[in-house]
Amino acid sequence: MFDLQSEILKFDDSQDITNAWTPPSSWYTQNEFLNLEHEKVFLKNWMFVDFTYNLSNEGDYSTGKVANRPYVLLKNKDHIKAYYNICSHHGTCVAKGKGNTESLVCPYHGWVYNLEGKLKKIPKAGSITDIHKKGMNLKEIPMHISGPFVFLWIGDGDTADFSESLEEHFSRDLYQNLNFVKRTEYIINCNWKVFVDNYLDGGYHVPHMHPGLTTQLDLDSYYTDIHDNWSLQKCLAKTSEAKDKEVKGRVSGEAEYTWAYPNFMINRYGKWMDTNWAIPMGPNKSKIVFDYFYDGNPKDVEMSLDASDKVQAEDMEICDMVQDGLNSGVYKQGVYAPQFEKPMFHFHQLLKESFLTN
Ligand code: FES
Ligand SMILES: [Fe+2]
């Protein structure tokens, strides 16, 4: 019989990275782990959900779900606020997609909420008693904005402090005033953590998987830095090649790859920022959302995007292939490449800590 607790403990991180085995394949294949992640990870952390760029004008809104909980972000006159996107009448999602509006009107029976989430109008419903009318506003969700990124604490209970060092990292000029270029979304047949693991292998896969990118990076300069609940990987561009590829390629100067626990990744290089957001859709299925931003006049945008798209496609293909091995029942646990994979080990340690916390 499947024993969740013993599967968690198979990842023994009292060992250092040179002796440790990776988490077992069950972490990546079993529904029990996905449920556990919803409860212990996604509902108990600051979760990235959007960019402030999408919510700059009064009435802008966007919607989504974290761990099956629907939220709506709303820009009122002064602030961005977050609410559960759940009508007080029968629980319908009030808002859909994103856009700009003067109020939110529930599509089911037309109850109207204003931009502060207050219930303003109930179309003729007969007499609803005062006691029933109490607490009928949309329920607010704790939100934290760091740099251009919007995070929600969508679970019940007390919020944790947002990491001070991550706050400092995102507050730098490097992350401000970027122009949105495009969003692409892909569905891939792997667990969301396979995608994150690939991101956190300290550049180990880069020469094998990304020949184009490798010509632009000085992989000897690769450097990783582990923080409380985030990590940073950095790499310098190869100077001679980088000069002529400055416009058409992906990298110029220094590339910075930031990962914020659990599922948000930010690539900042030259004039570009792209972000990867890994959303679980099942134990073997994920949605990866790529958003592209540009600093300044986006000339030659298409050529650079082609280079980025190629790297993303290479990563997604290998993730599918990893999942096949994980699903096989033959592969049990792997090992780490200690020189590179410290950020990945750190991710697995954070997961285990979340799983074991009440
Ligand atoms: S469920 Fe929203 S108005 Fe009825
Ligand atoms: Fe990659």
Per-residue pLDDT tens for 251-265?
Answer: 567 899 999 999 999
- Whether 223 and 329 share a structural domain: yes
Q: Domain boundary residue among 117, 152, 187?
A: 152
Residue burial 91-109, b: 16+ Cβ < 10 Å; e: rest: eebbbeebeeeeebbbeee
Phi, psi dihedrals of residue 208, rounded to the nearest 5°: -85, -40
CATH number at residue 302: 3.90.380.10
Residue 243 lies in a domain: yes
CATH number at residue 144: 2.102.10.10
For ligand 1, is residue 92 a contact (CB within 6 Å)? yes
Could you tell me the pLDDT band of residue 219, with boundaries at 50, 70 and 90?
A: confident
Phi, psi dihedrals of residue 19, rounded to the nearest 5°: -105, -15
How far, in Å, from the CA of 26 to the mean position of ligand 2?
A: 24
How far, in Å, from the CA of 64 to the mean position of ligand 1?
A: 19
Residue 17 lies in a domain: no
* Nearest CA-CA partner of 240 in 268, 207, 212, 217: 217
Residue nearest to atom 1 of ligand 1 (CA): 90
Domain around 128: 47-152
**How deeply is 13 buried, as exposed, middle or buried, from its count of CB atoms within 10 A (0-12, 13-18, 19+)?**
middle
The ligand that comes nearest to the alpha carbon of residue 198 is: 2
Give 173's DSSP letter: G
For ligand 1, is residue 93 a contact (CB within 6 Å)? no
* Percent of the chain whose pLDDT exceeds 90: 78
- Beta bridge partner(s), residue 260: 230, 264
**Start-to-end C-alpha separation, the chain:** 23
Structure tokens at 45: 């952390």
Residue nearest to atom 4 of ligand 1 (CA): 109
Residue 329 lies in a domain: yes
pLDDT at 277 > cutoff 50 = yes
Residue 187 lies in a domain: yes
The ligand that comes nearest to the alpha carbon of residue 111 is: 1
Task: Provide the total of helices (H) and of strands (E) in the chain, helices listed first.
Answer: 11, 17
Atom of ligand 1 nearest to the CA of 90: 1
For ligand 1, is residue 285 a contact (CB within 6 Å)? no
Count of alpha carbons within 13 Å of 345, Cβ hemisphere only?
23
Residue 34 lies in a domain: no
Residue nearest to atom 3 of ligand 1 (CA): 109
For ligand 1, is residue 194 a contact (CB within 6 Å)? no
- Whether 134 and 218 share a structural domain: no
For ligand 1, is residue 109 a contact (CB within 6 Å)? yes
Which residues are CB-neighbours of 324 under 8 A, at least 6 positions away?
none
Q: At what angle do helices 192-199 and 301-327 cross, to 10 degrees?
A: 120
How far, in Å, from the CA of 157 to the mean position of ligand 1?
A: 27
For ligand 1, is residue 322 a contact (CB within 6 Å)? no
- Whether 58 and 148 share a structural domain: yes
- Whether 112 and 241 share a structural domain: no
How far, in Å, from the CA of 209 to the mean position of ligand 2?
A: 7
Residue 2 lies in a domain: no
Q: What is the rounded CA–CA span in Å between residue 106 and residue 109?
A: 6
How far, in whole angstroms, is CA 261 from its chain's centroid? Answer: 8
How far, in Å, from the CA of 244 to the mean position of ligand 2?
A: 22
Atom of ligand 1 nearest to the CA of 109: 3
Residue 9 lies in a domain: no
* Nearest CA-CA partner of 232 in 210, 270, 199, 209: 199
Q: Mean pLDDT across the stretch 102-127?
A: 92
- Whether 286 and 344 share a structural domain: yes
Per residue in 230-256, pLDDT (tens digit) is 999 999 888 654 444 444 445 567 899
Could you tell me the pLDDT band of residue 299, with boundaries at 50, 70 and 90?
A: low
Count of alpha carbons within 13 Å of 164, Cβ hemisphere only?
0
Q: Mean pLDDT across the stretch 300-313?
A: 77
Residue 11 lies in a domain: no
Atom of ligand 1 nearest to the CA of 91: 1
Lowest mean pLDDT among 143-147, 177-181, 306-310: 306-310
Q: Domain boundary residue among 136, 152, 168?
A: 152
Per residue in 169-196, pLDDT (tens digit) is 999 999 999 999 999 999 999 999 999 9
* Nearest CA-CA partner of 230 in 148, 159, 163, 291: 163
Q: What is the rounded CA–CA span in Å between residue 238 and residue 253?
A: 8
- Whether 222 and 118 share a structural domain: no
Please, are residues 316 and 188 in contact by the beta-carbon 8 Å criterion? yes
The ligand that comes nearest to the alpha carbon of residue 313 is: 2
- Whether 138 and 239 share a structural domain: no
Number of domains forming the structure of the chain: 2
Please, are residues 354 and 44 in contact by the beta-carbon 8 Å criterion? yes
Name the residue of 83, 93, 108, 128 to mutate for ligand 1: max ligand atoms within 8 A of Cβ: 108
Q: What is the rounded CA–CA span in Å between residue 61 and residue 143?
A: 14
- Whether 231 and 134 share a structural domain: no
How far, in Å, from the CA of 114 to the mean position of ligand 1?
A: 15
For ligand 1, is residue 113 a contact (CB within 6 Å)? no
Structure tokens at 28: 């990546």
Residue type, 188: I
- Beta bridge partner(s), residue 144: 151
Please, where are the H alpha helices in 142-201?
Answer: 164-171, 192-199
Give 238's DSSP letter: P
- Whether 326 and 187 share a structural domain: yes
- Whether 212 and 319 share a structural domain: yes
Lowest mean pLDDT among 115-119, 142-146, 304-308: 304-308
| Other CB atoms within 10 A of residue 1 CB | 2
Q: Mean pLDDT across the stretch 296-313?
A: 76
For ligand 1, is residue 118 a contact (CB within 6 Å)? no
